[in-house]
Amino acid sequence: MRHLPVTSRRIGVIAIGLALAGGAVACGPKSGSDAKAGADATPHQGGTLYVLNNQAQEDFDPARLYTSGGGNIPSLVYRTLTTRNRADGAAGTKVVPDLATDTGEPSKDATVWTYHLKDGLKYQDGTPITTADIKYDIERSFAPELSGGAPYLRDWLVGAADYQGPYKDPKGLSAIETPDAKTIVFHLNKPEGEFPLLATQTSFAPVPKAKDTGTKYAEHPVSSGPYEVVSNENNGEHIVLKRNPNWSATTDGQRKAYPDTIDVQSGIDQAVINQRLSAGVGKDADAVTTDTNLGPAELAKVSGDKSLAGRVGTGHFGYTDYIAFNPKVKPFDNIKVREAIAYAVNRTTVINAQGGSSLNEAATTFLPQQAAFGYTPYDPFPAGADGNPAKAKELLKEAGYPNGLTVTLTHDVTKGDEQGPEVATALQEALKVAGITVKLDGQEHNAYSDKIHNVQSEPGFFLAGWGADWPSGGPFLGPIFDGRQIVKGGDNFNNAQLDDPSVNNEIDAINKITDLKAAAVRWGALDKKIGEQAVTVPLYHPVYKRLYGKDIRNVVISDWTGVLDVSQVAVK
Amino acid sequence: MPPAPPSGARQIWRRLRGRPAALTGGVVIVLLVLIAAGAPLLAAIEGQDTTSYHPGLVDSASGGVPLGHFGGISGSHWLGVEPGTGRDLFARLVYGARVSLGVAIGATILQVLIGVAFGLAAGLGSRWVDSLLSRVTDVFVVMPALILAIALLAVVPGSFPRPVLLTLVLGFLAWGGFAKIVRAQVLTQKSLDYVAASRLAGSSPWRTARRELLPALVAPVLTYAAITLPTNIVSEAGLSFLGIGVTPPTPSWGQMLSSATTWYQADSSYVLLPAVLLFVTVLAFTVFADGIRTALDPRAASRLRVGTRAGRRGAGTADSAATPADAASGIPGPADPRGGGAA
């Protein structure tokens, strides 16, 4: 499980990158206008959709891509065993079949998962898709030369821990069986009720062995989705996709594929992307972005302009920004001190420092506010939106600090970052009112990340954030609170170094549950139980606000990704 | 007042008096210094401080833009509030002046001290000492000081007081110009009769330096310091702009400018305030430095005297009368505005 946290964190980092530019319009009414834009203009096939992005779509190889739910652009080219439901809001957190006929048949204890392929599935060249090709891509994802993908399978598949990929070890993985061209069976070394959610990732896409060109495969991959790659320049900086004639909507109920061509241009400054989308001149009217949010100032400008405000999509990606404590450092070993800080926190000023109430929602639970994660509302330290300094002072007195306390808050110096100086300064001011003097220790971005993720150097009181690879409580709570996931040498995400047998056992018990709804309820209860220990203070959940072009229709934003789904967008 | 020596303060003042641009610069500088020194008093009169958050004064749903006009200007917030936090901008600006001026003045003093010491030692020392010190000086002159400052500021732990660190870094990196000027001046003066006489009379090198050379260095060093000071202000603002200057919540103009850049469309007064202040400060120091330079320039001095007398004699102002003198002397005049009707 060593790698698991890294992966989840990386998704988090991507989310932060996206959120950096973030700004917003008032939530409720704006999503209404989004719906309107989609409804009264019926989407039609044809045209070219332009995607304006900041980050390049690097390593466009299904074995190397690290995606949540199969990704946005990748999902246009790669179909997977299962995929995310392409629907607005909470409905979009469901996992649905893609190449497979269902989301998987588990064995009784959820250690064996069996999938059958639909009929009539073809690659772009018309050859049939087989389960052997899916197995082959999974094996490729273990090859050191094709690194980058999610590490879960190495942990989960029987005997896969040291597998080096099909180039060095052509015998393949015995944990994956393909009894016939349409059946694939996975043998796991422990119960994993969330296997169908993992099967949305692009390592579960088919790659025909005969067409595999190793590290060059990303330039001309063989498409199983509605689009094929015309060109992929400079490692994903400019990708052009055209319609795949051998893809059929009859086998794919999820992707709408309205435009004939999709042109993905990256390396554009975030401010420029927002400026171009708001101006909407020429081709930019047919443009969207999949990685650039509106920033606070941009939101302020958009809010004052009705025509622009109607072109803002609002999304919720499951993410939590929080205060992390290391109880091994004094005085944070004292739960009363941690509770005092939890009471003193003023979420209003923290949220304002991060762009205001349209870009963030106050958090008192560690799990994001979505049923799929198991969200169960609770607030163990009810202090209201503005904090309760009087109660905090009382707790400090009980903790033995009647005259207040001086502590150091470690944060990232990157301006606008979710762990950045704006949040730290807002906390400093709020805690001052409660008699806690906060000294700020700002660290350079990479140094900060190294410092807080190493148990040797971890400070006592710092800022952190967490997002999950799929919408469930498992990848959200496990890496942060599972005592067996404490990593000694670095890449540790269990900030509190919490190793509570009752928590660990409950995590194991929930992983056995294959009914995701039932599991969600248990995750919610576990979150509440951990929350009472005050080893973290949840601050806020970011909200994504993104502009799209004037002629864009059928905007669908799921709570899985929080981002407009490119497979649903039409330009005509 | 006792009769002033040829290059004394009184003479400088007399020469400066005839230059309205330099005088205006000087007045602005005095005002800025008063503002910086009186920051706590000014903030107290307004009834605000630099760190208090006012969430009620910003529109949280619209990205945190200040409520009201011109960035939320009101009777209790004279220059409005900061977007997002609602912190008082007047208080932050006047306190920011302390950082800008304090660091710049401190760094300039440090540069003068180091530069004069190196220049004197190089000019008076043996050939060997001179070439060694001159090479060291060359290294500091050609070194990209700002880039090195960025590197230094990034590695020093955050617990070190930031304004002091900024002063030290700027001071220790950019003294090369002073050393070069001082060395050149010492080499010229050294060969003059009065210095030789002092040496022949048995003065030690130290005494010679102190009694005979230092007074001759005042004019060039003062001039160069006046020119360097605005450069230091800009450097401090630049480093704070890059996020490696003073740390929050200490306000600084560069830092405010940096936070304000994204707001230029939504809340333009937030950008304008630190930008205009920085501009005015640098302009004031530059104009004043130019005045000092001209006032201390022996060649310009003669022109000035002619001009002044001409001004008294004729109906025109000192400045307008100085123009023909400039032309006659053949030396290009300083580029200050010649507002003929200003007087």
Nearest alpha carbon to residue A107 among A1, A195, A182, A173: A195
Find the mean pLDDT for residues B147-171: 85
Q: Which residues of A touch B65 (CB under 8 A)?
A: 297, 300, 303
Chosen for mutation from B88, B152, B262, B264 (greatest number of chain A CBs closer than 10 Å) is B262
> What whole-number distance in Å separates Cα of residue B337 and Cα of residue B343?
13
Find, among B251, B241, B256, the residue nearest to B71 by Cα: B256
Q: Is B270 on the interface with A (CB under 8 A)?
A: no
Structure confidence at residue B206 as a pLDDT band (50, 70, 90):
confident
**Per residue in B111-135, pLDDT tens?**
999 999 999 899 888 889 999 999 9
Interchain CB distance below 8 Å, A296 and B63: yes
Is residue B120 within 8 Å of residue B182, measured between CB atoms? yes
Q: Residue B17: its pLDDT value, please?
A: 80
CB contact under 8 A, B86 and A352: yes
Q: Does B88 touch chain A (CB under 8 A)?
A: no
Rounded to a whole number, what is the distance in Å from the CA of B212 to chain A's nearest CA?
50
Is the bond into B249 cis (omega within 30 degrees of 0)? yes
Mean pLDDT of B178-188: 91
Measure the CA–CA gap between A468 and A366, rounded to whole angstroms: 12
Give the chain B residue nearest A26 (alpha carbons). Answer: B61
pLDDT at B191 over 90: no
Q: Is B83 part of the contact surface with chain A (CB cutoff 8 Å)?
A: yes
- How many whole angstroms separate alpha carbon A346 and alpha carbon A368? 19
Q: For an interface test with A, give the residue of B48, B50, B62, B165 to mutate (most A CBs within 10 A).
A: B62
**Average pLDDT of every residue of chain B:** 81
Task: Give the count of beta carbons closer than 10 Å to the beta carbon of residue B177.
Answer: 19
Strands A82-84 and A95-97 turn out to be antiparallel
pLDDT number for residue A488: 83
- What pLDDT is stored for residue B298 in this prediction? 65
pLDDT tens-place values along chain A, 572 residues long: 333 333 333 343 333 333 333 333 333 333 334 444 444 578 999 999 999 999 999 999 999 999 889 999 999 999 999 999 999 999 999 999 999 999 999 999 899 999 999 999 999 999 999 999 999 999 999 999 998 888 899 989 999 999 999 999 999 999 999 999 999 999 999 999 999 999 999 999 999 999 999 999 999 999 999 999 999 999 999 999 999 999 999 999 999 999 999 999 999 999 999 999 999 999 999 999 999 999 999 999 898 888 899 999 999 999 999 999 999 998 999 999 999 999 999 999 999 999 999 999 999 999 999 999 999 999 999 999 999 999 999 999 999 999 989 999 999 988 889 999 999 999 999 999 999 999 999 888 998 999 999 999 999 999 999 998 999 999 999 999 999 988 887 789 999 999 999 999 999 999 999 899 999 999 999 999 999 999 999 999 999 999 999 999 999 999 999 999 999 999 98
Whether the CB of A412 is below 8 Å from some CB of chain B: the reply is no
Question: What b/e sequence results for B244-282 when a residue is b if at least 16 CB atoms lie within 10 Å of its CB, and e otherwise?
Answer: bbbbbbbbbbbbbbbbbebbeebbebbbbbbbebbeebb
pLDDT class of B143 with cuts at 50, 70, 90: confident
pTM: 0.83
What are φ and ψ of residue B194, in 5° steps?
-65, -35
CA distances from A424 to A414, A444, A534, A571, B54 (A): 11, 14, 19, 43, 16
Question: A287: closest CA among A54, A36, A571?
Answer: A571
Is residue B99 over pLDDT 60?
Answer: yes
Pairwise CB contact (< 8 Å): B53 & A429? yes
Tokens representing B262?
Answer: 């994204």
- φ/ψ (deg, to 5) at A176: -115, 120
**Domain spans in chain B, listed from the N-terminal domain onward:** 21-303
Q: Is residue B328 scored above 50 in pLDDT?
A: no
What kind of fold does domain B21-303 have according to CATH?
A: MetI-like fold (1.10.3720)
- For residue A450, what are its two tokens? 């190294």
Residue A49 pairs in a beta bridge with A262
**What ipTM score was computed for the predicted complex, to two decimals?**
0.78
Whether B247 and A429 lie within 8 Å, measured CB to CB: no
B177: three-class secondary structure by DSSP: helix
DSSP alpha helices (H): ranges in chain B?
9-17, 20-37, 39-46, 89-124, 127-142, 145-155, 162-173, 176-190, 193-200, 205-208, 214-241, 253-260, 268-296, 298-313, 318-329
Q: Which residues of B touch A298 (CB under 8 A)?
A: 63, 262, 266
Instruction: Classify strands A261-265 and A287-288 as parallel, antiparallel or unpaired.
Output: unpaired
What pLDDT does residue B190 have? Answer: 82
Tell me the per-residue pLDDT of A364-414, one tens digit each, with 9 for 90 and over.
999 999 999 999 999 999 999 999 999 999 999 999 999 989 999 999 988
Question: Which SS3 state, helix, strand or coil, does residue A288 take?
Answer: strand
- Whether B230 shows a pLDDT value over 80: the answer reads yes
Residues in a beta bridge with A443: A412
Q: What φ, ψ does residue B306 adopt, rounded to 5°?
A: -55, -50
